[in-house]
Amino acid sequence: MIDISHVLINDKKEILINFFFFRHFFNFIAVRIIKGDGMKASFIFPIIFSILLGAFFGKLLFSQYETKEVLYEENNVVYALQQGVYQTLDSLEAGSSKITNKVTVLENDRYYVYVGMTKDLDNVKKIQELYKQQGYELYAKKIDIANYEFINTLEQYDILLKNAKKKEEIDAVLKVILASYEETVLNS
């Protein structure tokens, strides 16, 4: 007579070992379940169920964390309203001396002057119109800012900027936005 119980035990052990990475623990349990060496199935099944349940909830938790990270990365484009680009400090002073609310950024040996920042295209148009009345043509430059604190602050100030009607209100909001940009992005 051929003994197939050895083959059956080996096949079930391989399935369990391949499914779970805890080789010795599950090898021991599989042998005990199949042979019936005193270990009751009512004790083993809750353990296996708990491990599977923990793996499921762990996977669910980590998949939500990864999704939030991706959402942030897609949402950090800002419109910087650029008044001009200058090669020297003298030309910078001559071209933007009348503008009180501005941030100057040195990149690639050039001075970029920003007079406002927003994430909302309607606010871009509002600010461009305000400065056009003063004789300045603004360029809306898309920049990528990887500072969550500033992005969060800017979204709040965009709401105020959208509701601002008077020049003084718009200037006040832009002044705070630029100060926040200097403090959290440029000086960090």
- pLDDT at site 72: 45
Angle value at C-alpha 167, between 162 and 171, nearest 5 degrees: 75
Query: Tell me, what CATH number does 172's domain have?
Result: 3.30.70.1070
Q: How confident is the model at residue 6 (pLDDT cuts 50, 70, 90)?
A: very low
pLDDT tens-digit profile of 124-150?
A: 999 999 999 988 899 999 999 888 889
**Together in a domain, 119 and 179:** yes
User: Given the structure tokens 């910078």, which residue do they identify?
Assistant: 92
User: Which are the contacts of 91, defined by CB distance < 8 A and separation ≥ 6?
Assistant: none
Q: Which helix (H) or strand (E) holds 13?
A: helix 5-19
Host domain of residue 26: 5-73
N-term to C-term CA, the chain? 79
- Domain shared by 29 and 102, yes or no: no
Closest CA relative to residue 157, chosen from 140, 172, 146, 144:
172
Q: Could you tell me if 111 and 156 lie in one domain?
A: yes
Statement to judge: residues 146 and 94 lie in one domain: yes
Q: State if pTM tops 0.85.
A: no
Q: Which residues pair with 59 in a beta bridge?
A: none
**Residue type at 133 in one-letter notation:** Q
pLDDT at res. 3 = 44
The number of folded domains in the chain is: 2
Asked whether residue 108 falls in the same domain as residue 18, the answer is: no
Which H or E element spans position 140?
Answer: strand 139-144
DSSP label of 101: S
